[in-house]
Amino acid sequence: MQVIADWNSWLNGYVWGWPMIILLVGTGLLLTMLTGVAQVRYLGRAMSEVLGKLTQKSTGEGSVSPFQAVATALASTVGVGNIAGVATAISIGGPGALFWLWISGILGMCTKYAEIVIALHYREKDSSGTMRGGAMYVLKNGLGLPWMGSLFALLTATAAFGIGNMVQSNSVASAMEATFSIAPSLTGILLAGVTASVILGGIKRIGQLTEYLVPFMAIVYLVGGITILVTHASVIPQAFSQVFEGAFSGTAAAGGFAGSTIMMAMRYGIARGLFSNEAGLGSAPMVHAAATTDHPVRQGMYGIFEVFVDTLLICTTTGLVILVTNSWDLGISGAALSARAFETGLPGTWGSIVVTSGVLLFSFSTLVGWSYYGETGAVYLFGARAAMPYRILWLVFIYLGAVGSLHLVWDVADTLNGLMAIPNLIAVLASIPLLLRLQKEFFARPRS
């Protein structure tokens, strides 16, 4: 295990060094400029598309409704990263990491928008009739690079077991053991069983669950967090001061570590931002490609809404709660830090209940959503016959994650995240002319 950890640590240093930060931030900046700051200009329209058409049926080919697609994508992105990931970024990189997480989110809104638009243009049906799409299809059908499409598909199918599976089940097992003294092995068995009842039914059953689960879990968590921020309103300005000062000068910690530099704040803020909202990763377009819609840009706006909710609402709430309760420099990290902050801010056991329920629901939703991403990679490589075997293997890894080491799993997931982003961003950057043409085409039409 130590050999694997050492090797991954070496690789992670390259994957998440300056080149990756420049690639992610640079892509977001370039797309923001070329699309005319689409994430700001179309945010209101995106809100209208999502919230104003919850029950409206859409026309076009697809396997799930547009809202079920965004709910499934949010189910995958709103996970442990929103609770443990934000806490880890702040505990290692200092309060300034929250600023870089915001930058990751703002730019990520445009990156996610672009990814989805391009993916829908090149989507296709598999032999079972399920609509499939994603960077692998863009690379194959749009750029004539089937080998790179296969590489992305392989990375997706394998990376899913880290970011979308083992990290999530491990966090649930840790929370259940700490709160209810339930053995991780038992949690693993129960979690695998509940997940099986959903994912074995395919994308339609996943969509039917997430369209109700995601709004419920987001509201519960946000209400708890906002309650703390309201009761600590007097120290919110100080928290923002810590964030901006730490982002550009680094912040020395009172305990737990010697200090954090600007690079640490930037690296962990952006890394955890990507881990949370997955913009640039190429994951969400795979489920958005299954949506029934009349134009790729219409579904792309759902991506803007998705990152806004994930990063600018939920992650920000977690980060500010940690700062206003003065919990960030206690020498703890991950979900334990978030739990301490919520317990400090809410009376009685309510804080523990909010965080524990958040970990359980967020992790479960991610397990369900990411199973479809990994399955899409497997189907691209081996055909529709690979779907069911992949789902069964997914359940096995849920158990393995529950009884494994969080530190190693998290580090490996970080590395696989970065590796997935490379071929995906190549596909996005090479497809910018298509993106701009589709955007111009859509907004020239009468609004519907």
Dump the DSSP string for 256-269: SSS-B-HHHHHHHH
Q: CA 95 to CA 323: how far, in whole Å?
A: 7
- The amino acid sitting at 201 is G
Each residue's pLDDT tens digit, 111-129: 999 999 999 999 999 888 8
- What are the tokens at 233? 């309103």
CA 393 to chain CA centroid, Å, is 22
The torsion region of residue 77 among left (phi > 0), alpha (psi -120 to 50) and beta comes to alpha
Which has the closest alpha carbon to 426: 11, 15, 24? 24
Which has the closest alpha carbon to 285: 133, 110, 161, 157? 133
Domains delineated in the chain: 2-54+66-443 (1.20.1740)
Q: CA 326 to CA 343: how far, in whole Å?
A: 12
CA dihedral 234, 240, 242, 248 (to 10 degrees): -160
| Other residues' Cβ atoms within 10 Å of the Cβ of residue 398 | 29
* DSSP designation for 139: I
What separation in angstroms does the CA of 78 have from each of 111, 116, 141, 311, 386? 17, 18, 30, 9, 27
Q: CA 319 to CA 304: how far, in whole Å?
A: 21
Confidence of residue 334 (pLDDT cuts 50, 70, 90): confident
| Other residues' Cβ atoms within 10 Å of the Cβ of residue 247 | 24
Q: CA 399 to CA 184: how far, in whole Å?
A: 9
Residues 6+ apart with CB under 8 A from 292: 57, 58, 59, 60, 61, 62, 63, 64, 65, 66
Q: CA 44 to CA 62: how far, in whole Å?
A: 25
Is it the case that residue 260 has pLDDT exceeding 50? no
Which has the closest alpha carbon to 25: 280, 250, 306? 280
Confidence of residue 405 (pLDDT cuts 50, 70, 90): low
* DSSP designation for 385: G
Contact yes or no for 317/225 (Cβ under 8 A): yes
Confidence of residue 43 (pLDDT cuts 50, 70, 90): very high
Q: CA 292 to CA 205: how far, in whole Å?
A: 16
Q: 236-245, 311-320, 399-408, 425-434: lowest mean pLDDT where?
A: 399-408
- The amino acid sitting at 9 is S
- What are the tokens at 234? 């007097």
Q: What are phi and psi of 159, to 5 degrees?
A: -60, -30
pLDDT at 256: 41
Mean pLDDT of 365-393: 94
Each residue's pLDDT tens digit, 50-64: 887 666 566 566 678
> Coil, strand, or helix at residue 124?
strand
Q: CA 342 to CA 349: how far, in whole Å?
A: 9
Name the percent of the chain lying above pLDDT 90. Answer: 44
CA 350 to chain CA centroid, Å, is 26
Confidence of residue 253 (pLDDT cuts 50, 70, 90): very low
Specify the residue for token string 């909710």: 309
| Other residues' Cβ atoms within 10 Å of the Cβ of residue 47 | 14
- Widest distance between CA atoms in the chain: 60
Each residue's pLDDT tens digit, 131-167: 999 999 999 999 999 999 999 999 999 888 887 888 8
Confidence of residue 86 (pLDDT cuts 50, 70, 90): confident
What pTM does this model have? 0.88
pLDDT at 412: 74
Is it the case that residue 69 has pLDDT exceeding 50? yes
Each residue's pLDDT tens digit, 191-234: 999 999 999 999 989 988 988 988 888 888 899 999 999 999 99
